[in-house]
């Protein structure tokens, strides 16, 4: 786990909100298990508040994007037409309800916490640490909502701040434009690149423009030198997504993006194979590995009793089955073979 105190500026920059009372931010990252061992308050009440904030502002942003009253239309006739509210994109309330549910569901909120890189800053008690609770979707969902709750209290329920933060943290424009899946977005991809290349979270600057929208600026230190990008959008979140996409495509065009090979350790071994595969999944190169280990020993192709492990990588339609003299070795080797298959590496242990 990382110390939140060392990353306060990065965290606040990524949510586009700076706290007056920084203790509220610490509370948002504090699990009950930590407060029971060390005293103080935990994030449960903030989570309760944030759940309501999230529900309201996701609804508002959807209505601002897709809804209008008929009087806003050029052909509206005040004498003939009723000034009713209309949602133009979707034909029934059920469709909007389904969209809203996908945006606020547990898996989506957990995905966004992963992309923001916040789970490692959680303050947890020893039991939670040993059980790696930070990897559970429900814990990440609670953290997402608790951060919103902390901002609500700190800003005295400032409507502009809350709407901006919900839009930023969820990156709604990306999902509404490209589909409601937990796929990588350009903001997340550029952040990953800059953290690896320059060791820091990229910083965006914003300028309100005459049309009512925003212009976003982004500077990146690349192998070509410092590159300055800008793009416009109807909101800060949209402008940020647009400039990030422009920057990412520029890096791609000049072959400056990292590949999966750049993420591998200097020497891939059985001992680091499981962690390496996990990290590749967390960075979006592959889907999360799925392991299956039978409780009892099985027999290999030669009839010898062995422990078996199957490692499945669904994103690559890949399955590796390994037989070994111990469960641990079988799991390590299965992960190792998956990496070799994906990266085109030679199996160094094939003859052993």
- Rg, Å, the chain Cα set: 24
Q: How high is the pLDDT of residue 92?
A: 46
Which residues participate in catalysis according to the annotation? 51, 145
Residue 238 and residue 38: Cα distance in Å, rounded? 41
On whether both 66 and 168 belong to a single domain, the answer is: yes
Query: Whole-angstrom Cα distance, residue 249 to residue 193?
Result: 12
Model confidence over 321-347: pLDDT tens digits? Answer: 999 999 999 999 999 999 999 998 999
- On whether the CB atoms of residues 182 and 111 are closer than 8 A, the answer is yes
Provide the CB-side half-sphere exposure for 192 (13 A, CA).
22
Residues 28 and 163 reside in one and the same domain: yes
For the domain that residue 297 is a member of, what is the CATH number? 3.30.160.20
Q: Do residues 75 and 141 both lie within one domain?
A: yes
- Counting residues of the chain whose pLDDT is more than 70, the rounded percentage is 93
**301 located within any domain:** yes
Domain-embedded: residue 351: no
Asked if 333 and 274 sit in the same domain, the reply is: yes
Cα–Cα distance for residue pair 288/313, rounded to 1 Å: 7
Residue 332: per-residue pLDDT: 94
Do 298 and 323 reside in the same domain of the chain? yes
- Same-domain check for residues 209 and 273: no
Are 59 and 157 within one domain?
A: yes
27 with 172, same domain: the answer is yes
Asked whether residue 349 is assigned to any structural domain, the reply reads no
What pLDDT score does 89 carry?
A: 56
Q: What is the crossing angle of helices 137-154 and 159-170, to 10°?
A: 160
Three-class DSSP category at 183: coil
- The confidence score (pLDDT) of residue 183 equals 47
250 and 275 inside one domain:
no
Work out whether strand 67-69 and strand 225-233 pair parallel, antiparallel, or are unpaired.
unpaired
3-state helix, strand, coil in the chain (%, to 5): 55, 15, 30
Q: CA-CA distances (angstroms) from residue 346 to 264, 289, 306, 322, 340?
A: 14, 20, 24, 16, 6
Query: What is the number of other CB atoms lying within 10 angstroms of the CB of residue 85?
Result: 9
What tokens appear for 277 in the block?
């595969």
CA distance 184 to 220: 20
- Contacts of residues 97-105 at CB distance under 8 Å and 24 or more positions apart, as own/partner, are 99/62, 99/176, 99/180, 100/58, 100/59, 100/62, 102/180, 103/58, 103/170, 103/172, 103/175, 103/180, 104/54, 104/55, 104/58
- pLDDT tens across the length of the chain (352 residues): 788 998 899 899 889 899 999 999 999 999 999 999 999 999 999 999 999 999 999 999 888 877 778 787 777 777 777 888 777 655 444 467 777 888 888 888 988 898 888 999 999 999 999 988 888 888 999 999 999 999 999 999 999 999 999 988 988 876 676 555 544 578 878 988 888 889 888 999 999 887 778 999 999 999 999 999 999 888 888 889 889 989 988 998 888 888 888 889 999 999 999 999 988 887 767 888 899 998 888 887 778 888 999 999 887 888 999 999 999 999 999 999 999 999 989 998 876 5
Looking at residue 257, its pLDDT comes to 84
The confidence score (pLDDT) of residue 182 equals 46
Q: Calculate the dihedral angle through the C-alpha atoms of 11, 13, 16, 18, rounding to the nearest 10 degrees.
A: 80
User: Residue 238's domain spans which residues?
Assistant: 186-258
The answer to the question of residue 350 being in a domain is: no
Identify the bridge partners of residue 312 per DSSP, sorted by sequence position.
Answer: 290, 319
pLDDT value at residue 210:
78
22 and 49 together in one domain = yes
Q: 186-198 and 236-253 are packed helices; what angle lies between their axes, rounded to 10 degrees?
A: 60
Which of helix, strand or coil describes residue 318? Answer: strand
* Reported pTM: 0.57
**Structural domain count, the chain:** 3
Q: d(Cα 177, Cα 241) in Å, to the nearest integer?
A: 11
pLDDT at position 107: 83
Calpha distance 347→66 (Å, rounded): 53
**pLDDT for the residue numbered 352:** 55
Per the domain annotation, does 191 fall within a domain? yes
Four-CA torsion 230, 16, 164, 152, nearest 10 degrees: -170
Give the pLDDT confidence of 173-229 residue by residue, as tens digits. 766 765 555 445 788 789 888 888 898 889 999 998 877 789 999 999 999 999 999
Residue 133 counted as domain residue: yes
Tokens 């982004």 locate to 218
Q: Of 258, 293, 308, which residue is a domain's last?
A: 258
Of 176, 202, 222, the one marking the end of a domain is 176
- Looking at 152, 176, 200, the residue that finishes a domain is 176
Same domain, 19 and 115: yes
> Are 61 and 114 found together in one domain?
yes
Residue 348 lies in a domain: no
104: in domain: yes
Contact 344, 326 (CB under 8 A): no
């Amino acid at each position: 786990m990382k110390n939140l105190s060392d990353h306060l500026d990065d965290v606040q920059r990524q949510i586009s909100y700076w706290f007056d009372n920084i203790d509220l931010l610490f509370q948002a990252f504090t699990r009950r298990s930590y407060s029971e061992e060390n005293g103080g308050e935990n994030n449960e009440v903030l989570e309760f508040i944030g759940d309501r904030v999230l529900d309201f502002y996701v609804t508002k942003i959807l209505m601002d994007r897709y809804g209008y009253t008929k009087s806003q239309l050029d052909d509206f006739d005040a004498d003939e037409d009723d000034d009713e509210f209309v949602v133009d994109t979707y034909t029934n309330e059920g469709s909007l309800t389904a969209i809203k549910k996908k945006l606020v569901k547990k898996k989506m909120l957990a995905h966004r916490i992963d992309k923001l890189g916040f789970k490692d800053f959680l303050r947890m008690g020893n039991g939670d640490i040993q059980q790696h609770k930070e990897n559970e979707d429900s814990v990440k969902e609670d953290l997402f909502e608790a951060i919103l709750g902390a901002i609500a209290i700190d800003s005295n329920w400032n409507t502009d701040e809350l709407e901006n933060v919900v839009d930023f943290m969820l990156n709604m424009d990306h999902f509404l434009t490209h589909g409601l899946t937990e796929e990588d977005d350009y903001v997340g991809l550029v952040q990953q690149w800059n953290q690896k290349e320059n060791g820091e979270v990229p910083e965006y600057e914003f300028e309100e423009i005459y049309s009512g929208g925003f212009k976003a600026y982004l500077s990146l230190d690349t192998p070509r030198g410092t590159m300055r990008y800008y793009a416009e959008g109807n909101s800060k979140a949209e402008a940020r997504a647009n400039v990030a996409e422009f920057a990412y495509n520029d890096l791609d065009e000049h072959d400056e993006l990292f590949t999966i090979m750049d993420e591998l350790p200097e020497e891939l071994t059985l001992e680091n194979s499981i962690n390496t595969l996990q990290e590749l999944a967390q960075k979006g190169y592959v889907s999360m590995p799925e392991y299956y280990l039978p409780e009892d020993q099985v027999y290999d192709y030669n009839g010898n009793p062995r422990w078996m492990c199957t490692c499945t990588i669904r994103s690559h339609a890949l399955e590796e089955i390994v037989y070994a003299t111990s469960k641990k070795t079988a799991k390590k080797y299965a992960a190792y073979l998956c990496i070799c298959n994906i990266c085109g590496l030679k199996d160094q242990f094939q003859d052993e």
